[in-house]
Structure 1
Amino acid sequence: MKKSILVCIAVLLIAACNKTETKGNLHITGNVKGLKEGTLYIQKVVDTTLIAIDTIKIDGSSHFESNIDLKSPEMLYLFLDRGVSNSLDNNLMFFAEPGVINIETNLDAFLSEAKITGSKNHDLFEDYKKTTSRYKDENLTLIEQKFKAIKRKDPKAIDSLSKMQDLNLKRKYLFAVNFAMNNKDHEIAPYIALAEVYDINIKYLDTIQNAMTPKVAQSLYGKKLTEYINTLKKGN
């Protein structure tokens, strides 16, 4: 009888451990090479404010893991508290979705050297950033050229460069819209609409909204996009 009770207790303990290990539908693993001591925070945006949803203490080992209950794919942030010397290079964006996501980076180049795998939405986000970085670089070049034109008081050059800036911005916006349309079956689509082209003509936002698959339309960003468009229409 005593042996049976002990067996039951052991089974219950194992079940409890397994339940703890599988808590949440998103399992994050990672490594911040070179980090011996510090704190990592998994953050999300709530009402325009970043709040921590998990705290990870690093003491000796640079490897970390986290289990989170994610109701819908969304952009999360891995924030590194460097302690004495915080840096601007300390808040890593990653588009999370249920499953297993791995984040590999290092202390010296926390953002630029980050490798994130396990999320299709994040893969698409990286593809999007690669192309839009070209538009950003071109705009910086135009700003520099315009500044020089202003210094030498060259109105024709200033006007020409201003038009080139406008054209560059239009190209960037149209790329964002096309990207969202081409990925209408992923949650990245409404996210791009809300984060990148929220001030574009409403007809383009309508086009993205109407193209979304039912699953994406019911996601966090799908619902937010619908709410945002409805608010704009009421304002008009």
Structure 2
Amino acid sequence: MKKSIIAFVTLLLLSSCNEKGSKTNLHITGNIKGLKKGTLYIQRVVDTTLVAIDTINIDGSSAFESDLELKSPEMLYLFLDRGVSNSLDNNLSFFAEPGNITIETSLDGYLSGAKITGSKNNDLYEEYKKINSRFRDEELTLIEQKFNAIKSNNPKAIDSLSAKQDSNIKRKYLFATNFAINNRNYDVAPYIALSEIYDINIKYLDTIQKSMSPKVAQSLYGKKLTKYVASIKNQK
């Protein structure tokens, strides 16, 4: 009888451990070269606010790891509390998805030197950002040129630069739309639609929403995009 009770308790404990382990489907490992002491917070957006879902204390070793549960791919943020300021330079975004993700960076180049592997959605988003930065750089150049034209009171130049700005914005939005449609099988598609071109003509958002694969349509950002498109249509 005693052996039966011990066996039953052991079975319960194993079952509990397996149940606990099944709740985590994302394993993050990383290293922040040069960091000896500090606190890392893995955050997600909840109702427009960043909320910590894991806290990692760094004391001596710059390596870290975390196990989390994701219902679907999601943009997460690795915030480094240096004990000095809450600068945006301390918040590293990465598109997480179930599986194994590695984050390699350094204390000096926390954002600029970060290398993230293991997430296809993150790879695609980095590809998108690289091309999209060209539109942003062009916009900054046009703003400077337009400012100088206004200072020199040159109406012709102002009109020309305004037209170039409009053209740059249209090309930027068209690129984002095509990128989302071409990557309809990944969660990065609805995320870009929601975060980058949410104010574009509804017909483009509708096209992205309808192009999503069934799996992506049922994901976190897929559902948000569907709800957002429906809300805009209801306003008309």
Under TM normalisation by the shorter chain, which class is it?
Answer: over 0.9
Aligned position for 1:148 = 148
**Structure 2: how far apart are the matches of 1:72 and 1:235?**
29
* Structure 1 residue 11: Cα displacement: 9.0
Aligned position for 1:157 = 157
**What is the 5 A alignment of 1:65-84?**
65-84=65-84
TM-score between both structures, scaled by the size of structure 1:
0.92
Aligned position for 1:109 = 109
**Structure 2: how far apart are the matches of 1:155 and 1:169?**
21
Aligned position for 2:93 = 93
**Partner AA of 1:65 in structure 2:** E
**Structure 1: how far apart are the matches of 2:155 and 2:195?**
34
* Structure 1 residue 6: Cα displacement: 9.3
* Structure 1 residue 22: Cα displacement: 6.4
Aligned position for 2:123 = 123
2:181 is paired with a residue of what secondary structure? helix
**Structure 2: how far apart are the matches of 1:29 and 1:22?**
18
**Partner AA of 2:102 in structure 1:** N
2:88 is paired with a residue of what secondary structure? coil
Aligned position for 1:193 = 193
Q: Identify unmatched segments of 5+ residues in structure 2.
A: none
Identity %: 72
**Partner AA of 2:99 in structure 1:** G
Judge conservation of contact 1:22–1:67 (CA < 8 Å) in 2.
no
Aligned position for 2:206 = 206
**Structure 1: how far apart are the matches of 2:175 and 2:189?**
12
**Structure 2: how far apart are the matches of 1:20 and 1:61?**
27
Judge conservation of contact 1:23–1:67 (CA < 8 Å) in 2.
no
Aligned position for 2:166 = 166
Summarize the Cα distance change of 1:146–1:53 in structure 2 as closer, same or farther, 3 Å threshold. same
* Structure 1 residue 98: Cα displacement: 0.3
Alignment RMSD: 2.2
Q: Identify unmatched segments of 5+ residues in structure 1.
A: none
**What is the 5 A alignment of 1:205-224?**
205-224=205-224
Aligned position for 2:54 = 54
**Structure 1: how far apart are the matches of 2:38 and 2:90?**
12
**Deviations 1:109-146 (CA, angstroms, capped at 9, x unpaired):** 11000000000000000000000000000000001111
2:61 is paired with a residue of what secondary structure? coil
1:208 is paired with a residue of what secondary structure? helix
**Deviations 1:134-192 (CA, angstroms, capped at 9, x unpaired):** 00000000011111111111111111101101100000000000000000000111111
Tell me the matched-pair count. 236
**Structure 2: how far apart are the matches of 1:45 and 1:144?**
34
**Structure 2: how far apart are the matches of 1:163 and 1:132?**
19
**Structure 1: how far apart are the matches of 2:30 and 2:190?**
28
Summarize the Cα distance change of 1:86–1:213 in structure 2 as closer, same or farther, 3 Å threshold. closer
**Partner AA of 2:46 in structure 1:** V
TM-score between both structures, scaled by the size of structure 2:
0.92
Aligned position for 1:33 = 33
Judge conservation of contact 1:101–1:117 (CA < 8 Å) in 2.
yes
Give the stretch that moved more between structures: 205-214 or 21-30. Answer: 21-30
1:89 is paired with a residue of what secondary structure? helix
1:179 is paired with a residue of what secondary structure? helix
